[in-house]
C-alpha cells in the first residue's frame, strides 16, 4: 500500500514552549519525519529536533515527559506502550493532544524492531509507513479520548493511592539499609564537606526553579 500524500502542513515547525502552545483541531493529515527511537523518554528528548517522529516506550506518560516532547517541537509521537493505562490519572496524553501532537499507541506492535533511528517514516491516522510499506498500526488518541480516560481514572483514585502506599512500603523494606545509613558510598573526587550542595531531581517546573536559583550557587 502506498504511503498517503503529504501537504505543506507537515513541514517541521520550530520548537515551542509548552506554555505557549494552543490546542489545534484534529486533522486527517499525514505526518512525515525521521523516526527517533528511545525507550527512556527523558534521554530521547535531548536529541529530538522539530519535525521528528518520536518513538517511545512509555506507559502512563507523565506531565514532565509530555512537556519535554512538546518543547522539542515533535508533531507526532508513537508509543509502544499504553499512554494511559487507567491505573491513575496521568496528564501527559492531555498535554500532548492539547498541543496538537498526533499521538498513536502501538502496544501490541513491533515498533522497535520494524524501525531504526533515523528512518524516514510517514504516519497517517494510526498507520505507520516506511518506504511506502505499512510496518505497524495502532490506535490514535485524540483530545476527547484522553480527556475521557483522565476523568475515568480520577474516579478510581482511591485504588491508585492504596497501590502507591503498598509500593512505598515494599520499597522501604527493600531499601532499609539505605534508610538506616548502613551503605557504602562510592569515592568521589569532589569534596562536599562544609560546602553547600544543591540536589536537583527532574520534575515539574524543575528547569524554571533552576533559572530562578541561577547565580545563587557558585559553579
Q: What integer best gives the mean pLDDT of the chain?
A: 83
Q: What is the pLDDT of residues 43-54, one digit of tens each?
A: 999 999 999 999
Task: Identify the residue with better confidence: 51 or 214.
Answer: 51
Task: Identify the residue with better confidence: 88 or 219.
Answer: 88
What pLDDT, on the 0 to 100 scale, is given for residue 29?
76
In sequence order, the 6+-apart residues with CB closer than 8 A to the CB of 128 are 78, 104, 106, 111, 114, 115, 121, 122, 134, 135, 136, 137, 138
Q: What is the pLDDT of residues 79-88, one digit of tens each?
A: 999 999 988 8
Helix 143-154 and helix 157-174: axis angle, to 10°?
70
Determine the average pLDDT of the residues in 174-189.
76
Determine the average pLDDT of the residues in 45-65.
95
Task: Identify the residue with better confidence: 118 or 20.
Answer: 118
> Is the pTM of the predicted complex or chain greater than 0.95?
no
Q: What would the DSSP string read from start to end of 124-164? A: ETTEEEETTEEEEE-EEE-HHHHHHHHHHHHTTHHHHHHHH
Amino acid at each position: 500500500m502506498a504511503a498517503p500524500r503529504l501537504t505543506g502542513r507537515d513541514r517541521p515547525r520550530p520548537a515551542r514552549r509548552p506554555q505557549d502552545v494552543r490546542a489545534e483541531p484534529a486533522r486527517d493529515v499525514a505526518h512525515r519525519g525521521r523516526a527517533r527511537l528511545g525507550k527512556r523518554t527523558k534521554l530521547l528528548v535531548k536529541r529530538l529536533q522539530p519535525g521528528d517522529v518520536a518513538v517511545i516506550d512509555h506507559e502512563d506518560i507523565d506531565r514532565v515527559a509530555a512537556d519535554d516532547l512538546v518543547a522539542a517541537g515533535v508533531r507526532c509521537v508513537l508509543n509502544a506502550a499504553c499512554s494511559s493505562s487507567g491505573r491513575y490519572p496521568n496528564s501527559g496524553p492531555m498535554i500532548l493532544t492539547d498541543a496538537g501532537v498526533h499521538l498513536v499507541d502501538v502496544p501490541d506492535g513491533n515498533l522497535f524492531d520494524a524501525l531504526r533511528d533515523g528512518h524516514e517514516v510517514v504516519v497517517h491516522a494510526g498507520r505507520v509507513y516506511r518506504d511506502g510499506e505499512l510496518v505497524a498500526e495502532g490506535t490514535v488518541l485524540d483530545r476527547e479520548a484522553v480527556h475521557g480516560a483522565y476523568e475515568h481514572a480520577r474516579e478510581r483514585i482511591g485504588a491508585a493511592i492504596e497501590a502507591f502506599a503498598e509500593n512505598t512500603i515494599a520499597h522501604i523494606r527493600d531499601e532499609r539499609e539505605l534508610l538506616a545509613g548502613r551503605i557504602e558510598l562510592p569515592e568521589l573526587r569532589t569534596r562536599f564537606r562544609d560546602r553547600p550542595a544543591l540536589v536537583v531531581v527532574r520534575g515539574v517546573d524543575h528547569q524554571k526553579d533552576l533559572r530562578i536559583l541561577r547565580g545563587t550557587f557558585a559553579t
